């Protein structure tokens, strides 16, 4: 499985500011995914990021609030814009099982724990 | 109604017990079924991965899928304190479908195995 790192691991931010989260993979992968895990809740898919194309957002998530970049096959960023306390959550990136392009066999990074005051 | 329902627990068992974790789902397009384990303050770790109906065994872990009942299970035999974690079921659809590659998760079951 791929080794995935995320930066920062945690942050405390002020309302109205923005935070960019980085996801780095140790091998080339086709698909990268961004999830949100709110306190005591399960994971919810925010968007799918494919290299060289615009990210695809799930219902309830918009590009203006969560812009995503995917400049190459090992890296992606998620920005949480104009933050409010409701954005306090763990943000996780995941990648597909690239050996066989098994998009359903996803491996997760350690997450970024965000607190918005 | 959520697409995937999972008993949130918490579940507390003695060491050596057999643990049964379950999820039900409503979307008949789901074909891929996964179980993830998530330790506190860590990302989810893929435990088991199955396609369509049937059983799959890996060491102390057995995953069962019953598509006719829209019901999946994870059994842990000889449970250990190191199994204490949150267990999440996840599902997605087949290639060509709208849910392919998009994992829908259950709420997670918190398991504690005490010595």
Tens digits of per-residue pLDDT, B38-71?
Answer: 998 899 999 998 888 889 999 999 999 999 999 9
Token pair for B21? 């974790």
Residue carrying the six token digits 């087949």:
B94
CB contacts of B102 in chain A (<8 Å) are: 33, 45, 48, 58
Q: Which of A112, A105, A99 is nearest to A46 (CA)?
A: A112
pLDDT of residue A101: 47
The minimal CB distance from B32 to the residues A31, A45, A104 is found for: A104
Tens digits of per-residue pLDDT, B14-38?
Answer: 999 999 999 999 999 888 899 999 9
pLDDT of residue A78: 98
Q: How far is B56 from chain A (nearest CA, A)?
A: 15
pLDDT of residue B26: 94
Q: Do A105 and B45 touch (CB under 8 A)?
A: no
pLDDT of residue B95: 62
Per-residue pLDDT of chain A (117 residues; tens, 9 = 90+): 678 999 999 999 999 999 999 999 998 888 899 999 988 788 999 999 988 888 999 999 999 999 999 999 999 999 999 999 999 999 999 998 654 445 567 889 999 999 999
pLDDT of residue B99: 61
């Amino acid at each position: 499985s791929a080794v995935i790192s995320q930066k920062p691991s945690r942050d405390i931010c002020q309302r109205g500011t923005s935070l960019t989260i980085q996801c780095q993979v140790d091998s080339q992968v086709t698909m990268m995914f961004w999830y949100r895990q709110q306190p005591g809740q399960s994971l919810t898919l925010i968007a799918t990021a494919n290299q060289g194309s615009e990210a695809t957002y799930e219902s309830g998530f918009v590009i203006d609030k969560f812009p995503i970049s995917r400049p190459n096959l090992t890296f992606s960023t998620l920005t949480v814009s104009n933050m409010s306390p409701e954005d306090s959550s763990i943000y996780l990136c995941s990648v597909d099982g690239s050996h066989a392009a098994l998009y359903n066999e996803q491996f997760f990074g350690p997450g970024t724990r965000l607190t918005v005051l | 109604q959520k697409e995937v329902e999972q008993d949130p627990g918490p579940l507390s068992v003695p060491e050596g017990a057999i643990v049964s974790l379950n999820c039900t789902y409503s979307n008949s397009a789901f074909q891929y079924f996964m179980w993830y384990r998530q330790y506190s303050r860590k990302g989810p770790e893929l435990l088991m991965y199955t396609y369509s109906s049937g059983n799959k065994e890996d060491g102390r872990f057995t995953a069962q899928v019953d598509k006719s009942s829209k019901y999946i299970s994870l059994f842990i035999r000889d449970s250990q304190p190191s199994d204490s974690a949150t267990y999440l079921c996840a599902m997605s659809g087949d290639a060509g479908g709208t849910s392919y590659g998009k994992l829908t998760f259950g709420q997670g079951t918190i398991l504690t195995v005490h010595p």
